[in-house]
């Protein structure tokens, strides 16, 4: 099973490493850019946002080709692959035409219902490895699984805010999911996870700082959806006597996007705004706000994802699975406590900055030689002479030149 998994990863890598440069050229030609005017963005220069097209194409082609060649159970994978294609297509549509959040949510909901309704892809029970008692979910199994798929899909989208962050975390999670699939003898899971991992390695070649392309919603939704369905598929196709890739292991593996999504939902509901209302308070924003540089922030979150991946593997593979469960509880509790502490520190920093502005202290001056200023986090930004950075509007990006703003890109690349 290792051979086909490596074949899928290499095939996906080669496809995406060829496709992505072509997408970058087309994006510059037709001005398919990410909008840096959005206050949540931390880049100044327009960057193509269509990298998800290559991620989807490479993952889909490699997975289907290897499964077909290996004569695996293709029929059982049809609902997953079909829903995967549906989510990717709506992401691509959104990258070009800025689809409203509610419509994206409805399509994700439909794709999740397709997966749950077309087969046994659901969490039927909740249990802790090493403990005999199991909680039968009964009629709650389908709603919980749908919530899981939609939540993880959006969770990866939430953490896509710094060069290489979502792609790297997605790669780490996919790699550990493939390893767990190997341990549980879930061939189809290993092939799908390996295909995604290979495609993401190729994408990261072009997405590392300074990024030449972003993944866009087509990429983040694709990654999130695949990572969400992998544990469900492992429960169907796995045949090993090892502990199953159950809910505890799945939550542990994907705890970085889960933690960020959960705190975002609580934060927005507590403020009386819609859950899908955007803000600039995700975990990577907060790490930047307390003083970490962008590269350090990415490496810290990579390390967290790696720790959660190792812990999830331990939950499934340790002979004494109760020990793995205790380990997971300790690690996840520590991560949650860190997030709470980080949020409080960032809020205090925000309050201090507000007090400074109210006191009339001038902002850091721009460097006379470079025209740049330090934004207080060790990140150099162009000063733009006190004006907003210039960039093409969304209408301009798609060939409709605005009469009010005929601008050209300036500024440095997103970090």
For residue 370, being part of any structural domain is answered with no
What is residue 319's predicted lDDT score, i.e. its pLDDT?
59
Binned at pLDDT 50, 70 and 90, residue 381 comes out as very low
**Where do we find the tokens 């969770």?**
155
Average pLDDT over residues 315-328: 66
pLDDT of residue 17: 96
Report, as an integer, the average pLDDT of 301-308: 90
Q: Which pLDDT value is given to residue 332?
A: 72
What residue numbers bound the domain in which 58 lies? 2-252
pLDDT (average), residues 265-274: 86
Q: pTM, whole model, 2 decimals?
A: 0.78
156 part of a folded domain? yes
187 lies in a domain?
yes
Residue of higher predicted confidence among 180 and 325: 180
Q: What percent of the chain has pLDDT over 90?
A: 32
For the stretch 119-173, pLDDT in tens is 788 888 776 665 656 788 888 889 999 999 999 998 998 898 889 999 999 999 9
Both tokens assigned to 226: 């695949």
Dist CA 327 CA 314 (whole Å): 8
Looking at per-residue confidence, does 81 or 43 come out higher?
81
Whole-number pLDDT of residue 330: 73
What's phi and psi for 204, nearest 5 deg? -65, -25
**What is 106-154 written as a DSSP string?**
HHHHHHHHHHHHTSS-S--EEE-TT---EEE-GGGHHHHHHHHHHHHHH
Alpha helices in 70-100 (DSSP H): 74-97
Q: Is residue 323 part of a domain?
A: no
The per-residue pLDDT for 198 is 97
Q: Does any domain span residue 29? A: yes
Look at the chain and report how many structural domains it folds into. 1
Note whether residue 294 is domain-resident: no
Residue 367 inside a domain? The answer is no
Within-domain flag for 244: yes
- Per-residue confidence (pLDDT) for residue 9, from 0 to 100: 96
How confident is the model at residue 126, as a pLDDT?
Answer: 77
34-48, 53-67, 110-124, 255-269: least confidently modelled range: 34-48
d(CA 308, CA 299): 14
* pLDDT tens sequence across 7-30: 999 999 999 999 999 999 998 888
pLDDT of 277 strictly over 60: yes
DSSP string, 307-361: HHHHHHHHHHH-SSHHHHHHHHHHHHHHHHHHHHHHHHHHHHHHHHHHHHHHTTP
Q: What is the longest distance spanned by two Cα atoms in the chain? A: 70
């Amino acid at each position: 099973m290792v051979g086909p998994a490596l074949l899928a990863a290499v095939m996906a890598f080669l496809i995406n490493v060829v496709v992505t440069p072509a997408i970058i050229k087309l994006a510059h030609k037709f001005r398919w850019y990410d909008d840096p005017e959005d206050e949540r963005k931390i880049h100044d220069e327009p960057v193509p946002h269509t990298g998800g097209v290559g991620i989807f194409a490479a993952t889909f082609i490699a997975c289907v080709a290897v499964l077909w060649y290996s004569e695996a159970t293709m029929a059982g994978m049809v609902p997953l692959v079909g829903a995967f294609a549906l989510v990717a297509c709506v992401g691509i549509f959104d990258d070009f035409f800025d689809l409203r959040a509610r419509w994206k949510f409805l399509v994700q909901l439909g794709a999740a219902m397709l997966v749950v309704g077309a087969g046994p892809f659901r969490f039927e029970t909740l249990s802790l490895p090493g403990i005999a008692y199991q909680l039968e979910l009964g009629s709650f199994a389908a709603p919980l699984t749908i919530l899981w798929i939609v939540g993880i899909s959006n969770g990866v989208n939430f953490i896509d805010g710094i060069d290489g962050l979502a792609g790297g975390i997605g790669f780490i999670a996919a790699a550990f999911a493939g390893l767990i699939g190997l341990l549980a003898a879930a061939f189809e899971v290993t092939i799908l996870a390996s295909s995604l991992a290979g495609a993401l390695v190729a994408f990261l070649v072009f997405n590392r700082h300074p990024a030449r392309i972003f993944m866009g919603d087509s990429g983040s939704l694709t990654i999130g959806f695949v990572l969400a369905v992998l544990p469900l598929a492992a429960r169907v196709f796995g045949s090993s006597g090892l502990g199953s890739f159950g809910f505890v292991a799945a939550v542990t593996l994907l705890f970085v996007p889960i933690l960020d999504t959960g705190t975002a939902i609580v934060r927005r509901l507590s403020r009386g705004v819609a859950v899908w209302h955007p803000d600039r308070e995700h975990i990577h924003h907060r790490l930047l706000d307390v003083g970490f540089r962008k590269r350090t922030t990415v490496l810290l979150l990579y390390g967290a994802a790696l720790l959660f991946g190792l812990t999830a593997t331990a939950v499934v593979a340790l002979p004494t699975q109760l020990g793995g469960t205790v380990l997971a509880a300790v690690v996840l509790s520590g991560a949650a406590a860190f997030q709470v502490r980080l949020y409080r520190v960032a809020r205090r920093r925000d309050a201090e900055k507000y007090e400074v502005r109210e006191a009339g202290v001038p902002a850091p001056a721009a460097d006379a030689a470079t025209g740049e200023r330090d934004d207080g986090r060790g990140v150099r930004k162009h000063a733009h002479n006190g004006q907003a950075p210039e960039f093409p509007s969304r209408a301009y990006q798609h060939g409709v030149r605005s009469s009010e703003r005929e601008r050209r890109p300036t500024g440095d690349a997103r970090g």
